[in-house]
Amino acid sequence: SLDRFPLGEKRLMDVKLGELGSWLGKRDFTPNGVLASIRNGHDRYYNKYINVKKGGIGGVAMLLVGYVALSYMWEYDHLSEYRLWEYDDLRVPTTYNIIHLKAL
């Protein structure tokens, strides 16, 4: 039913799986296009969760959870020193735990 519309103007959820690559190629990656998509996403989130009469904590809480998750991802390399077990061999503890944790 949506076949007669051009591919580049369909939404992500309406694109078939096989057309995903060509759809991605048709999207606007110029700086203006990127800015427009950022603005669009912001407007959608803002108008759905924040710009309402009785908004709950969901609007802000989701942003904070996203921030926490993002900062965890950025710090993962540093935090991976505190792992308990080595990835390859789960019986071997990491060097941090051998040196610092006498209980092991």
Partner 1 sequence: TSKSPCLPRLVQLSHLHTSPNSQAPVPALPEKGGKTRHGIIPEEIFQLLYPKTGVTGPYVLGAGLLTYILSKEIYIINHETFAAACMGTVIIYGVRKFGPDVAAFADKLNEEKVQKAQEVKDLAMTSLAQAVLDEKKEQWRAEGRQMLFDAKRNNVAMLLETNRRERVHMVTNEVKKRLDYQIALQTLHRRMEQEHMVNWVEKNVVTSITPQQEKTSIAKCITDLKVLAKVQQAKATA
What are the residues binding partner 1 (CB under 8 A)?
2, 5, 8-11, 14, 27-28, 33, 36-37, 40, 43-44, 47-59, 61-62, 65, 72, 79-80, 82-85, 87
Nearer to partner 1, 18 or 53 (CB): 53
Can you tell me whether residue 84 is helix, strand or coil?
A: coil
What is the closest distance, in whole angstroms, from the C-beta atom of residue 95 to partner 1 in the complex?
14
Q: Is the dihedral of CA 25, 31, 32, 38 positive or negative?
A: positive
Please report how close the Cβ of residue 80 comes to partner 1 at its closest, in angstroms.
7
Supply the minimum distance, in Å, between the C-beta of residue 76 and partner 1. Answer: 8
Yes or no: say if 6 and 21 are a contact pair by the CB < 8 Å rule. Answer: no
Q: Which one, of 51, 43, 41, 35, lies nearest residue 12 by Cα?
A: 41
Closer residue to partner 1, CB minimum distance, 74 or 85: 85
Q: Is the dihedral angle over the CA atoms 85, 86, 88, 89 positive or is it negative?
A: negative
Cβ at position 27, least distance to partner 1 in Å: 7
The answer for residues whose C-beta is within 8 angstroms of residue 10's C-beta and 6 or more apart is 2, 23
Nearer to partner 1, 18 or 78 (CB): 78
